[in-house]
Amino acid sequence: MTTELLRQKTGRYICGLSLPSEKRQIQTWLSCTDHKQQLSQEEREAIENEIVAQVQAYVVSTLFEPKPESWWKKVTAFF
């Protein structure tokens, strides 16, 4: 497969326009879970802490500066 073909295939997959065979090929590739590298506990914790810190920073910033919610969001949250 060439990069151009992969670009077209992924583009169609994102738009939901891919052929069944293309869809199957991409989904099979996504299902291949061959983990080549195992990180140490320290490295794992460092990555975890970094991602969690970034998420926390964003979450806290939205609480201080909340976006105006639309009326339908409030109604669905109520139910």
As measured in angstroms, the least distance from the Cβ of 6 to another protein is 6
As measured in angstroms, the least distance from the Cβ of 39 to another protein is 8
d(CA 79, CA 62): 23
d(CA 51, CA 36): 22
- Candidate residues 42, 65, 69, 71; the one interacting with another protein per rule CB under 8 A: 69
CB-CB contact of 58 with 67 (8 Å): no
- Chain residues that interact with another protein, rule: CB under 8 A: 1-3, 6-7, 10-11, 13-14, 25-26, 28-39, 44-45, 47-48, 50-52, 54-56, 58-60, 62-63, 69, 73-74, 76-77
